[in-house]
């Protein structure tokens, strides 16, 4: 389809398509230039360990996850603020699994004890039971045992857990298979029973409190030694406003492992909203 210019008017030197693209590119550049100023405001965190932290996006990229995007930094810091997590004491990690693909998402992972700490703060939490699933070879019997002990003549198959809520008549129950989580690395190399029991407990906690733990993962569930990749920092001292910031880098990060596709979703809602209904 052709275009006809008005009588006496000079023919356009550029096509409308080219002009449209040029204008769109200018708008995109302006939006990109304005975006960091809006998104990169530091976040104040009152952690469970009693510290008041002011953490910037640069802190996250320098000490926690160098490949994090501005959006991932914001989600991570808001998650730490919402759940009162201290990212500098291994209560929360932000892990980017694929160094070669900048489009892959990072994952928020909780530290060793955060799940239980957060559950204990919930008004409806009423305790748990957890243990291992073993096969006794001599008698050919499958046993669900409380605790994490496995005897010499037994084969460890998995873990189980029950989590109780005061407002529910039945507990949330989960069983997990050892072979699906055992990486053979870090604690999995020598404490398989302890680790698989914890995975089962985390699953049961997530089932019992979906709005609290739905988008969070525990270190026992990820296919990586997150503490080995964590960049150690020392206390930077008290700031004029009374907050604590951590600045000094002690150890360079190790190469990050193979990808694990987990998406982090953002929520502005109260983490406990709807759990008691």
Domain finish residue from 208, 237, 260: 208
Sequential DSSP letters for 39-104: H---EEEE-TTS-EEEE-HHHHHHHT-TT--HHHHHHHHHHHHHHT--GGGTSEEEEE--TT-TTS
- Please name every residue paired with 174 in a beta bridge, in sequence order, or none if there are none: 161
**Per the domain annotation, does 22 fall within a domain?**
no
The pLDDT value given to residue 202? 92
Host domain of residue 171: 123-208
17 domain-assigned? no
Measured CA to CA, the distance from residue 151 to residue 255 in angstroms comes to: 37
> Checking DSSP bridges between strand 233-238 and strand 244-249, what pairing results, if any?
antiparallel
pLDDT of residue 5: 42
Is 214 part of a structural domain of the chain?
A: no
Q: Does some domain include residue 183?
A: yes
Examine the domain organization and report whether 105 and 71 are in the same domain. yes
pLDDT for res 213? 83
pLDDT of residue 156: 97
Res 265: pLDDT: 44
Q: Is residue 230 part of a domain?
A: yes
Low-confidence spans in the chain with pLDDT less than 50 = 1-9, 11-24, 27-28, 30-38, 227-267, 271-272, 276-277
Same domain, 111 and 134: no
Q: Is residue 7 part of a domain?
A: no
Quote the pTM value.
Answer: 0.61
What pLDDT sits at residue 162? 97
Number of domains in the chain: 2
pLDDT at 133: 98
């Amino acid at each position: 389809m052709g275009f006809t210019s008005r009588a006496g008017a000079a023919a356009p030197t550029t096509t409308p398509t080219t002009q449209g693209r040029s204008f769109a590119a200018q708008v995109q550049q302006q939006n990109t230039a304005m975006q960091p100023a809006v998104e990169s405001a530091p976040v104040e965190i009152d952690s469970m360990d009693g510290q008041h932290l002011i953490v910037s996006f640069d802190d996250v990229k320098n000490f926690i996850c160098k490949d994090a995007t501005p959006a991932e930094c914001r989600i991570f810091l808001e998650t730490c603020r919402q759940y009162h997590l201290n990212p500098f004491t291994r209560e929360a990690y932000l892990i980017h699994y694929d160094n070669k693909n900048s489009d892959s998402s990072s994952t928020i992972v909780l530290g060793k004890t955060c799940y239980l700490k957060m559950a204990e703060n919930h008004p409806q939490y009423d305790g748990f039971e957890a243990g291992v699933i073993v096969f006794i070879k001599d008698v050919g019997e499958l046993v669900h045992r409380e605790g994490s002990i496995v005897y010499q003549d037994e084969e460890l198959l998995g873990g189980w857990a029950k989590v109780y809520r005061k407002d529910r008549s039945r507990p949330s129950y989960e069983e997990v298979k050892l072979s699906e989580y055992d990486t053979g690395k870090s604690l999995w190399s020598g404490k398989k029973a302890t680790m698989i029991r914890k995975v089962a407990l985390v699953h049961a906690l997530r089932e019992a409190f979906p709005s609290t733990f739905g988008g969070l993962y525990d270190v026992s569930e990820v296919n990586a030694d997150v503490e080995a990749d964590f960049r150690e920092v020392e206390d930077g001292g008290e700031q004029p406003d009374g907050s604590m910031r951590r600045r000094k880098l002690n150890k360079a990060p190790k190469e990050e492992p193979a990808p694990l596709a987990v998406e982090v979703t953002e929520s502005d809602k109260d983490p406990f909203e709807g759990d008691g209904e």
